[in-house]
Structure 1
Amino acid sequence: MIKFEHSIFALPFAYIGVLLSNNYNLKIFVLVTIAMISARSVAMALNRIIDYKTDKLNPRTQGRELPIGKVQLKEAWVFTIFSFIVFEISAYLLNPLAFKLSFVALFFLITYSYTKRFTWLCHIYLGATDAIAPLGGFVGAVGYLDINIFYLALFVAFWIGGFDILYALQDLTFDLKNGVHSIPVKFGPNLARVFAALFHLVAFIFLLLTIYMYKLNYFAYIGAFLVLCLLIIEHLLVDPKDLKKINIAFFNINSYISIVLVIVFLLGRFIND
């Protein structure tokens, strides 16, 4: 029900947050990793539990573990509570502020699954939820927040929000019939693609601002333009009339973006001109 690749989008940005803090060691990286994976597990498990009845009706999600009975609701709840406890312990072991803000993070992780039931702004809320990753990595490392790390958080928010709009295209027919809210439902598939492109353009600007504010070298700028190229490819792969390549765009391309940015931020921080 919960796969490691569910963490691949957010986890690298927690590492980048740690890296940009200039305060890191093995203990911090291990605790941040545990906190991120357990938090993501809480979010994904709750998402499956909350959407259980809807998933049974949606042809795309009917084969998931809960609808087919491969995983029981009771088991899902036990897993969620266990993941919650692991998350809180890891946050507590990092520092006091990380522990206090962990409850704010949990609020977003728990509530984002409900937003599509009443607002087409659900994509923005999901983006804001995933934007906690770099903030959490930074706070976990140093115990305070720096204004500049919010540029990276805003990149994540608009990047995630943009591809979540594209991902929602495949459920357009079901969502229209069942009262599920999204930008494709509100504005139609063509305008939804425009919204997604604008989101990704704004994300690219915030990525450049992050690199500039942290005075990273040209490797980081090269990485930013590689990300831009990958985003363009992602949009070219998504055709509202033929969504067969949506999973390639969603999982493969966005995974490449995360990995590219971890590598180039490392190079941008540690290799001198």
Structure 2
Amino acid sequence: MNIRPIFQKSKQFGELVMFSHTLFSLPFAVISMVWAAGGWPSWWIMIWGLIALIGARNGANAFNRLADRKFDEQNPRTATRHLPQRLLGTREVIIFVIINYLIFVIAASMLNPLCMILSPVGILLITVYSYTKRFTWLSHLYLGFVIASAPIGAWFAVTGEFAFTPFVLGTVVMLWIAGFDVIYGTQDIEFDRNHGLWSIPSFFGLKTALWMAKGMHIVMLVLLLFLYYFRDLSWMYLIGLGIAAILLMTEHGIIKPHQPKLMKIAAYNLNQVISMVIVACTLIDFFFIA
């Protein structure tokens, strides 16, 4: 049996949904689970929680590529993506979306009744994001709001109850994601304006958009500092927060919208490091110091 075509197709789907970007939401979901459980939750919750997270984000990202395929074809920056290049067909991407949403619902149902009840709401929220740029510049914050469901949902998975801490963590994620999505969106200011798409950069202009992104990240850091006091965390958590602040400053210092490679570092690579630093220092704080 020749497995090369299967491997190639899997690789293409992984690229389609930008699977490596799971590092944005997963670390905060892990923190939420650990805090909710007072330690590592059971393997059952860890495994099904992870499956639910991956199913939801893969389905949502693939649907976003479907919804934006006509714009991607017209934008020189995105014209090499899988759907515009016909590397993947519309039908197979639709099937991929349906399968991942089903995986999400099944995984949520394996956790507890609250997660099962909320799973259709989650699908609706993450699917609606793909159309927000058609009518509001708040699309960046809506994206952050959707991804913020990772730490909130992780808490629900462990406890089956509402609480204050996961919503603070969710707000942190929302502002963080929205901030660097604004940065990334500065590359498409003219395209968005010419094609009737809404974004903070296209609506407010480059300079104001970058100040708004900085503001979001400052509030994010303030909320993380609040959690230090609220949860009585240690110096190790503060070290992680300090490193994250330095990396965010670096991110805002290297922004050059007309240099795609530099923008990828600013909007994606540095933020992947930020999330890993925060989760590492938080877990060390919880298990070895606090």
Q: Structure 2 length as normaliser, TM-score? A: 0.91
2:131 matched residue in structure 1: 114
CA deviation string 1:175-214 (max 9, x = no partner): 1111110111111101111000000001111111223222
Q: Which residue type is aligned with residue 126 of structure 1?
A: L
Say yes or no: does 1:75 pair with 2:92: yes
Q: Which amino acid aligns with 1:20?
A: W
Give the letter for the 2:98 counterpart. Answer: I
The question of 1:264 aligning with 2:281 is answered yes
Do 2:21 and 2:272's aligned partners in 1 also have CA atoms closer than 8 Å?
no
Kept after mapping to 2: 8 A contact 1:149/1:210: no
Checking the alignment, whether the CA contact within 8 Å between 2:228 and 2:237 is kept in structure 1 is yes
Q: Is the contact between residue 32 and residue 90 of structure 1 (CA under 8 Å) also seen in structure 2?
A: yes
Report the AA paired with residue 3 of structure 1: M
Which stretch of structure 1 is more off in the superposition, 226-235 or 239-248? 239-248
Provide the C-alpha distance between the structure 2 equivalents of 1:132 and 1:141, rounded to a whole number of angstroms.
Answer: 14
Q: Does the residue aligned with 1:264 lie in a helix, a strand or coil? A: helix
**193-202 vs 213-222, which deviates more?**
213-222
Higher mean displacement: 119-128 or 95-104: 95-104
- For the residues of structure 1 that align with 2:123 and 2:281, how far apart are their CA atoms? 30
Letter in 1 for 2:103: V
Further displaced range: 20-29 or 171-180 = 20-29
Deviation at 1:6, TM superposition (A): 2.6
Tell me what 1:7 maps to.
Answer: 22
Q: Counterpart of 1:251?
A: 268
Deviation, structure 1 residue 218: 1.4
Q: Residue 144 of structure 1 aligns with which residue?
A: 161
CA RMSD of aligned residues (A): 1.3
**Residue pair 1:20, 1:214 contacting (<8 A) in 2 also:** no
Whether the aligned pair in 2 keeps the contact of 1:18 and 1:137 (CA below 8 Å) is yes
Q: 2:208 maps to which residue?
A: 191
Whether 1:212 aligns to 2:229 is yes
Residue equivalent to 2:3: none
Instruction: Name whichever of 133-142 and 243-252 sits farther off.
Output: 243-252
Q: Would the aligned equivalents of 1:151 and 1:209 in 2 still touch at CA under 8 Å?
A: no
Moved more, 211-220 or 8-17: 211-220
Does structure 1 retain, via aligned residues, the 8 Å contact 2:257–2:263? no
Query: Cα distance 1:235–1:47, how it changes in 2: closer, same or farther (>3 A)?
Result: same
Query: TM-score by structure 1 length?
Result: 0.97
Q: Percent identity?
A: 38
User: Any unmatched runs of 5+ in structure 2?
Assistant: 1-15
